[in-house]
Structures are given as C-alpha cells and as structure tokens.
Amino acid sequence: MNAWHWDPPLKEEADFEKLHVRTLEVDWEQTERDRREAEAVFGGILRVEVDNSPRPIGQFPRDLIDLRGLDQMMIDMYDSPGLLHRIMSLLLDSAMRELDCLEAAGALRPNNKPEDYCGTGGVGCTDLLPAEGFDGTVRAKDLWGLAESQEFTGVGPDQFHEFSIRYQAKLMARYGLVYYGCCEALHPHLDNLIEHIPNLRAVSIAPWCDRAIAAEKLQDRYLYYWKPNPALTCAPAVNWDAVRTNIDETLDIARGCCLAMVLKDTHTFCGDAARPGKWVDLCRRAVDAAMAC
C-alpha cells in the first residue's frame, strides 16, 4: 500500500489572483441526447427521467481543501485568516452564481417527493415545499438545500462558524429547507447552526456524534438523522445483539425527537445480501417495543 500527499495548487497568497468565479451553462441538447440513449437501453424496464437536481453546492469547504490543502488550511486559520476569508468569499460567490444559472435556465426539479434522497442520507418527503407562490417553475426556495463541512471536523465552534457556517448560511438562506451535515460530529456546533441557519430542518447525526447532546439541542424541532456505525453490520461476522443494543440505546436517547435511522456507508456486506433487510427488521421491532413502553 502506498501513501500520498495532496499537492494543492494554491501554494502562495499571490496564487489567489489566478482564481475567478466560475460560470455554468446548461446544455439541454446534450441532456436530451443522453436521455434518448438511456431510453434506448432501459426503456420498457425502467422509467427514464432527467434529473435536474443541482449538486450539493453548499459543500464548498471541500473546494477550499482542494485549493489549499487540509494541513495548510489548519495553519492558515492562525497564520493567514484573511486568505481563507478571501477564498471562502470567492467560493460563496461561485456557488451563488451556479444557483442563479440553474434557476434562470429552469434546470431545477422538486426534491420533496417520497422517493427523493435528502441531504446525505434520508428521505426528503415534505408538504412544506414548494414555497408560497410556486407556479411550476422550481426556484431554490422550493428545494431542500444541503451544506456540510467534514473538512472542519477538528475545528472548534468559533472557527467552524467563522470559516464555514457564516458563508454556508448565506447560500442556504436561498433554499426552502436545509439539511446539514454528513460524517462530521456536529454536537459542538448545533447552537451555531440553529442560530445562523433559521430554515434548518434536518441534521446528520454521525456515529461519533454525541447522541445525547444532539437530542437535547434538536428535540422535536428538527429531523434527527441518526447514522449508526456501519462497521457493526459490515464486519465479517455480525454481532446482531450488539446491533440491536445500539438501536435501543439511540431510541432511548432520542426519545421525543423526530428520529430517522439511516444505514449508510456500507461498502461491503461480505457477500451477505440479507444484512440490510435484517437491520431494517431489527429497527422496526425495536421501534415497536419502544412505542409500547
């Protein structure tokens, strides 16, 4: 196995001048060609639809790491905070322009139906969207937005807000509802998220998140998207008693919350395709038992 290190392109502050706000164009002709090709292959077997969902452009802290490097970014927060703010401002402007383009081109589609994947895991079904005044043309405020900042997971609440949330919040304000988080432990940052993203409605509760703190902060006002450690169901030999205990603990901790349980990041089931179904069955039985108490 080899080790490697990312060689970021933005090495000196002067390199910032090489950056510019990106532009985006929607190529409808190519889109239609792709649709016809997919229809030719899957027609009669699957329903072919054009998915005009935008990529999760609230994840632009990831772009910061691509430009500057993770270790250098950590140093910059102390040595060159002004540079980080310049980069994040540009990335915000770029994300705003991308959303403007998608809106103007009519390239957005609703993401609040029962089959819509929401955020970094969950279902986006809600009757709170689209927003008032919807006439069939989808706007950002008719959609779920997604923001996350895994790259800042080792940063304290003040700097997490200063270099990430404060920029993401400006973009997320354009959406109807917001799902925040992915694999980062968000319990130290929930106060800032709640304060600065007023349309926040769903939060990712990663395996290393303090479930009790999250439950206290979110209560029944936000969707508590709990994601158990996938290693419990992906190991060569599964201890199903431990899996059930983990589920029961979460049901007890999050009692009174709007809880959803999402099994994801399962890169292997070691050839045992029955495991996901067994996990779902365990969850259902655990929920029934908890509701009976």
Residues 235 and 218 in one domain: no
Residue 167, pLDDT score: 97
Query: Where does a domain end: 207, 227, 247?
Result: 227
Residues 247 and 281 in one domain: yes
Two tokens, residue 171: 């973009």
Residues 60 and 139 in one domain: yes
Residues 76 and 136 in one domain: yes
Is 10 part of a structural domain of the chain? Answer: no
HEC secondary structure over 1-57 = CCCCCCCCCCCCHHHHHHCCCCCCCCCHHHHHHHHHHHHHHHCCCCCCCCCCCCCCC
pLDDT-derived band at 52, boundaries 50, 70, 90: low
Residues 64 and 197 in one domain: yes
Residues 174 and 291 in one domain: no
Residue 1, pLDDT score: 66
Whole-model pTM: value is 0.94
pLDDT-derived band at 49, boundaries 50, 70, 90: confident
Residues 145 and 205 in one domain: yes
Strand stretches in the chain, DSSP E: 144-147, 177-180, 200-205, 223-226, 258-261
Could you report the per-residue pLDDT of 231-275, keeping only the tens digit for each? 999 999 999 999 999 999 999 999 999 999 999 999 999 999 999
| Predicted confidence (pLDDT) at residue 5 exceeds the cutoff of 90 | no
Residues 208 and 234 in one domain: no
| Predicted confidence (pLDDT) at residue 96 exceeds the cutoff of 90 | yes
Residue 27, pLDDT score: 93
- The mean pLDDT of 192-218, rounded to a whole number, is 97
Is 17 part of a structural domain of the chain? Answer: no
Is 197 part of a structural domain of the chain? Answer: yes
Is 117 part of a structural domain of the chain? Answer: yes
The total number of structural domains in the chain stands at 2
Is 248 part of a structural domain of the chain? Answer: yes
| Backbone phi, psi, residue 160, to 5° | -60, -40
Could you report the per-residue pLDDT of 14-37, keeping only the tens digit for each? 999 999 998 889 999 999 999 999
Residues 95 and 125 in one domain: yes
Could you report the per-residue pLDDT of 127-161, keeping only the tens digit for each? 999 999 999 999 999 999 999 999 998 899 999 99
- Residue 150 is classified by DSSP as G
Is 160 part of a structural domain of the chain? Answer: yes
End-to-end CA distance of the chain: 51
- C-alpha 196/C-alpha 200 separation (Å) is 9
The parent domain of residue 240 ranges over 229-258+265-293
At a CB cut-off of 8 Å and minimum separation 6, what does 174 contact?
Answer: 96, 99, 140, 141, 145
Residues 107 and 214 in one domain: yes
pLDDT-derived band at 56, boundaries 50, 70, 90: low
Residues 183 and 289 in one domain: no
Is 201 part of a structural domain of the chain? Answer: yes
Residues 76 and 205 in one domain: yes
Could you report the per-residue pLDDT of 99-119, keeping only the tens digit for each? 999 999 999 999 999 988 888
| Predicted confidence (pLDDT) at residue 53 exceeds the cutoff of 70 | no
